[in-house]
Every structure is written in C-alpha cells, then in structure tokens.
Amino acid sequence: MMTLVVVVLDGEEKWRVDLRSRRKEESVGGKDRVGRTDRSARSDRNNGGQRGTLWWHAHILWLRATVYGAIVIMPKQGVLFPFPQPHGETVLILGEWWNSDVEELVKQGNALGLPPDMSDAHTINGKPGPLFPCSDKHTFVTEVEWGKTYLLRIVNAALNDELFLPIAGHNMTVVEIDGVYCKPFITDAILVTPGQTMNVLVTANQAPGRYFMAARDFNDAPVPVDKKTATAILHYKGIPNTVIPTLPRLPAQNDTKFVDTYYDSLRSLNTLEFPANVPESIDRHLFYTIFQTNHQSPSTTLGAPLTTNLGTSLGTRLSKLAFNSSVELVLQDTNLLTVKSHPFHLHGFNFFVVGRGVGNFDPAKDQAKFNLVDPPERNTVGVPPGDWTVIRCLVHALSSGAAHNVGQCGD
C-alpha cells in the first residue's frame, strides 16, 4: 500500500488538492478535492506492483511550477534491490523558478499568442544555489561518508527544460528510470526530461571535500532558454563548511552527441524476475504529430493566425482501443511554432521506447532499427524538435488514461 499525506497550510481555499502519481492516475479517495484547506488528507492505495521513484504535481494551469513532490515506493520488506544496496538515499527534485506570478505569465503569453517568459532560475530541492545573487544560504546540501554508496532519487519537475546533472569528480550508475529497473551503466552526467524520474548510485570515493552537483538546460536550438545553473553540494562528513566546493564539468548546452549516447545506453533490465514484455505483434498503429501552440495563436502581418492553414482546433482527440490490445504509436515532432523538445506522457500506462531518430519517420527503413529485446520502459519520453520517437504498450489497465505533452501547454 502507498500512503500520501497532504497538509494544506493556506487558510484561503483557492485551489483543489488532487494527488496523482505519474503512472496510476487516481484522485485521492475517489474525489477531486481531498478536504478543507485547514485539514490534512490521507490516501491509502494499492500501488499495483510499482516500485521506485515517481512524482506528483498540480494539474491546474501553471501551479505545477511550485506544487510538486516525489513518491518513493520501497520494495516489499525483505526484498533487495537488484543492484548493490546503498548505505543511504536522497531525493533531488529539479525545478524552475519565476520571480513573477506564473499564472499572470501564462495569461500574458496566451493573450499575445507567445510562450510565457522563461524562468529566472533552476532549482534543486527548491533552492538555486550560491551561483545566484544572495543565495549562499539557499543551497541544498547532502552529507556523505567516504567509501559508502548512496542512492539519489532524481525528479525533473521543471515545466519546460530538459536538464543535465553531473556531480563534480564522481561518476553515477543509472539503475532505474521512471520507476522501472534498467541495465546499470556508468556516466559522468545524466539528462532528465520534464516529468521523468531517475535513480542513480553514487559512491563517495573521492578526496574528502565538498563537490557541486549542477543542473543546467540542454537545448540544441537557437531559442531563448534559462541558461542559469542551479547547484547543490555533496558534502563529505567532517569537512568544514568553509571549504569551497569543486564545480563539475557540464556537457555543452547543445551536446547532442552526449545525449544520443546517453539515450542509447538506456535499456530495460530484462531478466526472469524483471522481464521486458515488449509487444511484438501490433493490433493498432497510431501516428501523432506534435507541435505547440497557445490558446490564441500568434498572427501574421495580415492579421491571420499562423495556424490557420494547419487545420488545428482546441479539444481532445479520442482514440478507442480494445482491452488487452497492443498499440504502436509514432510521435512525430513537426518543429512548428517552437523548437523545444516535447515531453510526452501517457496517463495510466508504462510504455517501451522502441525507436527514435532524426527528421521524419520512414516506416520502410526505420522499423528495422527498432529495439524489441530490451528497450527502456518509461511513462514519459522527450520528443526532440523535428524528430520522431516510437513507443509500444499493451492496453491492459482499466484506466481513463490520456496522452499529453508534459510541457508548458500540455497540462
């Protein structure tokens, strides 16, 4: 069973509180509102065999900018992780911060038909770190002991930005993605798309000191983004706080070679205990194109919306799927109106990312490249601008699941 406890401190009831994990979408207690704002609310639910790190967030406008948290599901008592057992663990939630009211920013963007202003800072556990003015005391610190191994549960709760995260002087071993164990691999930095979670092992095997963890945007397109770097500190026990931390070497902001190698390293564990049940025969093929537009599209010099000839409309497209059917979905980013990556999430289901590539998807040649043996199993995947991603899943849950973009206009 999984228990979530929410205590709302604000005395003015303005927003409902609706707790949802990123896989099993369910309102607390079967209701939209969990209670009055001067009371606590509790939810007991069966987690359906899930384990690992998931996350919850607000589902109204841009409240997700600050209303979010991690869900940690431990293995059953007496069951060990399928990797070296850590001596301790820490949750790291990556986020964004605006100095302005985010609701007003969204309203202004919609009125102008433009994306809202980029964030003023990235954060780690709500703190930007000492690279920002007057932020020395606003730095998250986690203490480690030399020779011990720690599990970092990492969540990207940022609205728009894919984020790199290295730790100065330390390698990380990736062991889980989106609450699913994966084949362990060693890397000096990770990349996390908005909505994704990742568990990594870190061994405190360097000279005792203080080492920065740093989060910065990945973006390979010439558009304005928040390029500021958030930092937290890996602090060896017994080292004075006056020691200046060492900065890590971050991948270049447009380092697509690193990104491609990193994604190619993500594989399902695919063992007898944790198999990769990839659908091989497909009952339903779907093809979705993705582009981003605000509720009021920007206009040309003639006063016509830029999306006039695209046949777009507001609303939800319903695809009916038979229970227990297998589905293959091609996600084709069109690179229209925006050049940001689109995080794509499927409510209620995990899926296998069987293929990805540059440019337009060509079924005649790209299907031969699919990984149907041990593809990564996820609940959220990033689709780069102008590129394609193919996912497969089995419709085996009675859920009102819906597919949507996690990013700025998706929720």
Q: How many other CB atoms sit within 10 Å of the CB of residue 138?
A: 14
Q: How many other CB atoms sit within 10 Å of the CB of residue 314?
A: 6
Domain assignment present for 79: no
Domain assignment present for 151: yes
Domain assignment present for 58: no
Spatial CA neighbour of 92 closest among 202, 169, 16, 2: 202
DSSP string covering 28-69, please?
GGGSS--S-TTSEEEEEE--TT--EEEEEE--STTGGGT-EE
Residue 184 buriedness (CB in 10 A; 0-12 / 13-18 / 19+):
middle
What 3-state DSSP class applies to 296?
Answer: coil
Domain that holds residue 359: 284-304+314-405
Rounded CA-CA distance 12/97 in Å is: 23
What 3-state DSSP class applies to 323?
Answer: coil
CA distances from 211 to 142, 156, 160, 218 (A): 10, 21, 27, 22
* Residue 56 one-letter amino acid: W
Shared domain check, 98 and 226: yes
What 3-state DSSP class applies to 217?
Answer: strand
Domain assignment present for 41: yes
Label residue 368 left, alpha or beta by phi (over 0 means left) and psi (-120 to 50 means alpha): alpha
Shared domain check, 297 and 329: yes
Shared domain check, 146 and 225: yes
Residue 402, token pair as written in the block: 């819906």
Shared domain check, 357 and 216: no
Domain assignment present for 327: yes
Shared domain check, 158 and 36: no
Shared domain check, 109 and 24: no
Shared domain check, 194 and 122: yes
Q: Rounded to 5 degrees, what are φ and ψ at 112? A: -95, -10
Under 8 Å between Cβ of 179 and 73? yes
Residue found by looking up tokens 């987690």 in the block: 47
H-type alpha helices, 39-174: 102-112
Domain assignment present for 270: no
Residue 373, token pair as written in the block: 């043996």
Shared domain check, 293 and 235: no
Domain assignment present for 61: no
Q: What is the domain count for the chain? A: 3
Q: One digit per residue, pLDDT tens: the chain, 411 residues?
A: 344 444 334 344 444 444 544 444 333 333 333 323 334 444 444 555 678 999 888 877 778 888 898 989 888 888 999 999 999 999 999 999 988 888 888 888 878 877 778 888 999 999 999 988 776 678 999 999 999 999 999 999 998 889 999 999 999 999 999 999 999 999 999 999 999 999 999 999 999 999 999 999 998 666 655 578 999 999 999 999 999 999 999 999 889 999 999 999 999 999 999 999 999 999 999 998 876 554 444 443 334 444 445 555 566 677 788 888 999 999 998 765 555 677 888 877 899 999 999 889 999 999 999 999 999 999 999 988 888 999 999 987 555 455 555 543 333
Q: What pTM, to 2 d.p., does this model score?
A: 0.83
Shared domain check, 244 and 112: yes
CA distances from 85 to 80, 81, 166, 380 (A): 7, 6, 22, 27
Shared domain check, 111 and 226: yes
Under 8 Å between Cβ of 205 and 173? no
Under 8 Å between Cβ of 31 and 7? no
What 3-state DSSP class applies to 105?
Answer: helix
Domain assignment present for 229: yes
Shared domain check, 33 and 122: no
Q: Any idea what the CATH number is for the domain that residue 217 is in?
A: 2.60.40.420
Shared domain check, 209 and 172: yes
Q: How many other CB atoms sit within 10 Å of the CB of residue 323?
A: 9
